[in-house]
Amino acid sequence: MQSESPLDTLISAADRALRSVFAPARASRPLPEPPPVLAPPQAEGPPTTTQSAATAASPTLSEAEKRASAALMRVNHAGEIAAQALYHGQAMVARSDTTRALLLKAAHEETDHLAWCETRLKELDSRPSLLNPLWYAGSFAIGAAAALLGDRMSLGFVVETERQVEGHLDEHLARLPQDDTRSRAILQTMRTDEIAHGVSAKAAGGAELPSPVRFLMRNTARLMTSTAYWI
């Protein structure tokens, strides 16, 4: 397969950036749905469902619960923008076609997460972070810098990123309003995907990152998530 010229690479990177930040995300998989709610067991016969999955997916939330859920989903949407940028930046300067293909595949799968979070934000009458272009630009630069250290370090960066994302999702699942089963189903599916991305990157040769790098990554992520919660 013929390699891209430097100009083609830059044009592809710009196209991915514009699509990620400004174009509506398109999911290749259906939106995760919560399981149906079962009625109490009857005297005879198996339990019956009192709500379909569609009905259970849209429970009545108070205005305070909607705001709380929307803030968390805005953070997750911003995180998916950043994830896209990290993968795109790493892919642009990856040294092997195999590593580049793995990164772009993961970025494509993350597009589902982006679309799901966008959909849920609309359902909650809310909006994405106003700083998404900033999150993308900063994360792209970080991803490209990581990839300049070599493919093993770049893949190790993926492993550590997904490990930290898993922790953020666990925290958000604990903080979601109890009745927001729709957002919970989305985050649980995202969590499963993120773990798989980390496992794939480690299997492909990802190296363990030094402690100072992991510390810097955690604090950078904390800055983004605390800001995106409100803006």
Q: Is residue 30 part of a domain?
A: no
Where residue 207 sits, what CATH number does that domain have? 1.20.1260.10
Both tokens of residue 204? Answer: 């492909």
- Please, which pLDDT band fits residue 181 given cuts at 50, 70 and 90? very high
Using an 8 Å Cβ cutoff, are 159 and 148 in contact? Answer: no
Q: Is residue 86 part of a domain?
A: yes
Predicted pLDDT of residue 1 = 44
What's the rounded Cα separation, in Å, for the pair 188 and 174? Answer: 11
Which range of residues forms the domain containing residue 106? 64-228
Question: What is the C-alpha end-to-end distance of the chain, expressed in Å?
Answer: 44
* Count of domains forming the chain: 1
Q: Is residue 10 part of a domain?
A: no
- pTM of the complete model beyond 0.95: no
Q: Is residue 28 part of a domain?
A: no
Distances (CA, A) of 83 to 45, 111, 152, 177, 197: 48, 10, 18, 25, 11
Predicted pLDDT of residue 63 = 92
Residue type, 200: S
Q: Is residue 184 part of a domain?
A: yes
Distances (CA, A) of 115 to 21, 85, 188: 12, 15, 15
Q: Closest Cα to residue 228, out of 184, 172, 181, 158? A: 172
Predicted pLDDT of residue 192 = 93
Q: Closest Cα to residue 71, out of 103, 29, 117? A: 117
Q: Which residue, chain included where needed, has tokens 């949407």?
A: 77
pLDDT over 50 (residue 227): yes
Predicted pLDDT of residue 74 = 95
Tens digit of each residue's pLDDT (9 = 90 or more) over 182-219: 999 999 999 999 999 899 889 988 888 888 888 888 88
Distances (CA, A) of 148 to 51, 90, 110, 122, 214: 52, 8, 23, 38, 17
Q: Is residue 136 part of a domain?
A: yes
pLDDT over 50 (residue 68): yes
What region does 125 belong to: left with phi over 0, alpha with psi -120 to 50, or beta? left
Q: What percent of the chain has pLDDT over 70?
A: 81
Half-sphere exposure of residue 123: CA atoms within 13 angstroms, side-chain side: 18
Tens digit of each residue's pLDDT (9 = 90 or more) over 92-134: 888 888 998 888 888 888 889 999 999 999 999 999 999 889 8
Mean pLDDT (whole number) for 60-70: 92
pLDDT over 90 (residue 17): no
Which of 16-30, 46-60, 198-212 has the weakest average pLDDT?
Answer: 46-60
